[in-house]
DNA sequence: CCGCAGTATACCTTATAGGTATACTTTTAC
DNA sequence: GTAAAAGTATACCTATAAGGTATACTGCGG
């Protein structure tokens, strides 16, 4: 049994005759008669009562009529739904994000949601390597992370949309600095404080950039603690344990009390953020739309 | 898009590769690859992400997978349901019945219901001509009526299952006869009473049979009232207006108080009942099953 | 870098849907 | 009652598209 046959059957059932149905279907009567016979044979069921030139539906025929209408409607809906999904009207977008970039998402998600209200988001947090792995497994389509993307063994494999860069700032406990103190902080001064750095077995980018900045200023800082997570660092700063250097946007998403921000004297010292996906792999229309909007 | 293509798609989606799916489908790999490509083209959608030799489903693919499973399941259910209906496991049976035969139905319906619990009945009451008309219009599949079936202009058009015959009896008001009086009633005695007969413009069979019985006994009865309906006759008997002759089974279904029954001296005087349907026309399996059981 | 496993392309074969001609059946009109 | 009309069924042909075979192409693992 075939969808075509169901469509034919419905036409015949509605017209009450083969000839009229054939006209409606833009075909001749004999093939349609044959299809009806084949359908009956395949189902092993008598669908029409052929007494005289008119065809009346049997019980089985009436049931099939109802069911066929239902099936064809659902079929049509499926096509439209699948189509809509590919066009990026429906569906879900899975995005991975590094904690330090969270602040970039909310307003963009809101804007996207206004334009595509039926899209839902799935947001995963993790470090570069975790996110890279999920990207490979197709659990994520896009990743927002600091550049360079450390999971990128082969940079050619990824496409990256670079975002406006973000200055590094110093973060230190409130108690160490007057709130009114708006002077830029020199690296020498900062090097006097115990420092906290973002570093784990795998993710060393931020740590390296910080150390580099100190080295350029001729300073040898004292790293009190290497932390694997930004939230840990910020808690420690708020608790008065140490100071650190982080991209300015970080504190927008995690505004803990007890932390003072000071601009750095060192210029230019910027962090770059990128929207990352795997090149030459299928990207949903949703994701493509999101990328387009993300850059604006 | 075609159901075959959906089945193919599901196999490929589950296997995660075309070659394996082709094996499962007992076909070769190239045609299957082509079908998948055609499906994608027809839907205007990318279903698979072909990076490397493995095929991964896109969002649209995953949606189609869910929908396709659903559709195919419903499709299968439809086939089974239609099949079941034709086999007389499900559905409804429309029966027409003359009032005088009602008493034959209850026990038979009960027995049928035990064997086919999902079958429902639609029972219509009427005279021979009304029932004949409904039979022609296919609103009824079967009719239970006294024989001969008066609507049968062409007796060849109908199939009839004859049932064990039913003796005529006299019905008269209680007050006219002692309840203990179990003697057979002679036609001569009955002819003294005012009589009620079942007769309308169209249905004259019962009236004719009654008159014939009197004529054979050499009597000329006085018919006080010709009634078109059995219920009217019985009410009139109960009210002491007159006496009548009816098949014995009639009073089983309409046991009005105030009516006495007396067997007739005249033998053999029987009424025949039949289950009637239109020959050479589609009969549902339910109806065929019912006919089979009806005769037992 | 080569062999392996899988996919895609090209071309052929075959099955089946649809068309044409026509016979058969029933309804309707004279 | 018969003939015309309208509809269905049968027979046979054509064309389309599905499936098969051979083979080229492409990542992946040793």
What pLDDT, in 10s, does the model give residues B64-90?
888 888 898 888 888 888 887 777 777
Nucleotide nearest A28, from its CA to each C1': C19
Which site among B59, B64, B85 would you substitute to test the A interface, given the most A Cβ atoms closer than 10 Å to its Cβ?
Answer: B59
Q: List, as one string, the DSSP characters of B20-43.
A: HHHHHTTS-HHHHHHHHHHHHHHH
Which residues in chain B have their CB less than 8 angstroms from residue A55's CB?
none
Of A32, A56, A48, A47, give the one whose Cα is nearest residue B83. A47
Query: Looking at residues A154-169, what average pLDDT do you find?
Result: 87
Q: Does A14 touch chain B (CB under 8 A)?
A: no
Chain B contact for A136 (CB, 8 A cutoff): no
The pLDDT tens digits of the residues spanning B6-22 come to: 999 998 888 888 888 88
Confidence of residue B273 (pLDDT cuts 50, 70, 90): very high
Name which of A44, A60, A71 is nearest B74 (Cβ-Cβ). A71
Give A-chain residues touching B83 at CB under 8 angstroms: 43-45
Distance from CA of A21 to the nearest CA of B (A): 21
Give the mutation candidate from A82, A88, A279 for the B interface (greatest B CB count, under 10 A). Answer: A82
Nearest to A82 among B64, B70, B78 (CB): B64
> Which pLDDT score is estimated for A142?
93
Residue B45 and residue A82: Cβ atoms within 8 Å?
yes
Strand C contacted by B19 CB (< 7 A): yes
Distance B29 CA to D22 C1' (A): 13
Give yes or no for A59 touching B (CB within 8 A).
yes
Positive or negative: CA dihedral B11, B12, B18, B20 = negative
CA distance A90 to A92: 7
Helix (H, G, I), strand (E, B) or coil at B222: coil
Dihedral of alpha carbons B4, B9, B15, B18, sign:
positive
The pLDDT confidence band at residue A178, using thresholds 50, 70 and 90, is low
Domains assigned to chain B: 3-84 (1.10.10.10), 91-164+273-295 (3.40.190.10), 166-270 (3.40.190.10)
Q: What number is the average pLDDT over the span A233-255?
A: 87
- pLDDT on residue B143: 93
Q: What's the Å distance between residue B38 CA and nucleotide D20 C1'?
A: 18
What would the pLDDT profile of A1-55 be if each residue is shown by its tens digit? Answer: 788 889 999 888 888 888 888 888 888 888 898 888 888 888 888 888 876 656 7
- Report pLDDT digits (tens) over B19-45: 888 888 888 888 898 888 888 888 888
Select from A46, A58, A86, A116 the residue whose CB has the most chain B CBs within 10 Å, as the one to mutate to test that interface. A86
Residues 217-236 (A) near nucleic chain C, CB < 7 A: none
Least confident of A88-92, A158-162, A167-171, B16-20: A88-92
The chain-wide mean pLDDT, for chain B, equals 85
Closest partner CB to A86 (pick from B4, B46, B92)? B46
Per cent of chain A over pLDDT 70 is: 96
Contact B138 A79 (CB under 8 A): no
Protein residues in reach of strand D (CB < 7 A)? A 17-20, 29-30, 33-34, 36-37, 50, 53-55; B 2, 4, 26-31, 34-35, 38, 51-53
Q: In this predicted structure, what is the pLDDT of residue B122?
A: 85
Closest CB from B71, B78, B91 relative to A75: B71
User: Which residues in A45-57 are b (16+ Cβ under 10 Å) and which e?
Assistant: bbbbbeeeeebbb
Mean pLDDT, residues A162-191 taken together:
82
**Which residues on adjacent β-strands are paired with residue B91?**
B119
Residue nearest to nucleotide D7 (CA to C1'): A53
Answer whether residue A113 shows pLDDT above 80: yes
* Average pLDDT estimate for A277-287: 84
The residues with which A196 forms a beta bridge, in sequence order, are A225
What is the model's pLDDT at position A21? Answer: 87
Residue B180 has pLDDT above 60, yes or no: no
Q: What mean pLDDT do residues A122-133 have?
A: 86
For B43, the closest of A4, A74, A83 (CB atoms) is: A83
The nt closest to B32 (CA vs C1′) is D19
- Span B190-219, pLDDT tens digits: 888 889 999 887 788 889 888 888 888 888
Q: Which two tokens stand for residue A43?
A: 């189902």
Cα–Cα distance list, A64 to A39, A43, A57 (Å): 11, 10, 10
Residue A38 is predicted with a pLDDT of: 87
Q: In this prediction, what percent of chain B has a pLDDT beyond 90?
A: 9
């Amino acid at each position: 049994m075939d969808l075509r046959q169901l469509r034919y059957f419905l036409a015949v059932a509605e017209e009450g005759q083969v000839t009229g149905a054939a006209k409606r279907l833009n075909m001749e009567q004999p093939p349609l008669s044959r299809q009806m016979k084949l359908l009956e044979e395949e189902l092993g069921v008598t669908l029409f009562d052929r007494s005289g030139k008119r065809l009346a539906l049997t019980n089985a025929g009436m049931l099939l009529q109802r069911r066929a209408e239902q099936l064809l409607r659902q079929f049509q809906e499926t096509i439209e739904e699948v189509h809509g999904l590919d066009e990026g009207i429906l569906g879900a977008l899975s995005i991975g994000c590094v904690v330090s970039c969270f602040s970039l998402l909310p307003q963009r998600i809101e804007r996207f949601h206004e334009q595509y209200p039926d899209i839902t988001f799935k947001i995963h947090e993790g470090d570069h390597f975790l996110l890279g792995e999920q990207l490979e497994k197709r659990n994520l389509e896009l990743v927002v992370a600091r550049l360079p993307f450390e999971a990128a063994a082969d940079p050619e494999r990824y496409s990256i949309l670079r975002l406006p860069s973000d200055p590094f700032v110093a973060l230190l406990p409130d108690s160490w600095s007057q709130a009114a103190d708006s002077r830029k902080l020199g690296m020498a001064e900062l090097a006097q404080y115990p420092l906290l750095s973002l570093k784990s077995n795998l993710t060393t980018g931020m740590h390296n950039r910080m150390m580099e900045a100190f080295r350029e200023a001729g300073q040898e800082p004292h790293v009190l603690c290497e932390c694997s997570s930004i939230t840990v660092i910020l808690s420690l700063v708020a608790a008065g344990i140490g100071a650190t250097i982080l991209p300015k946007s970080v504190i927008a998403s995690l505004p803990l009390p007890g932390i003072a921000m000071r601009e750095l004297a060192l210029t230019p010292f910027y962090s770059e953020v990128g929207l990352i996906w795997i090149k030459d792999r299928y990207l949903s229309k949703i994701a493509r739309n999101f990328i387009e909007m993300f850059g604006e």
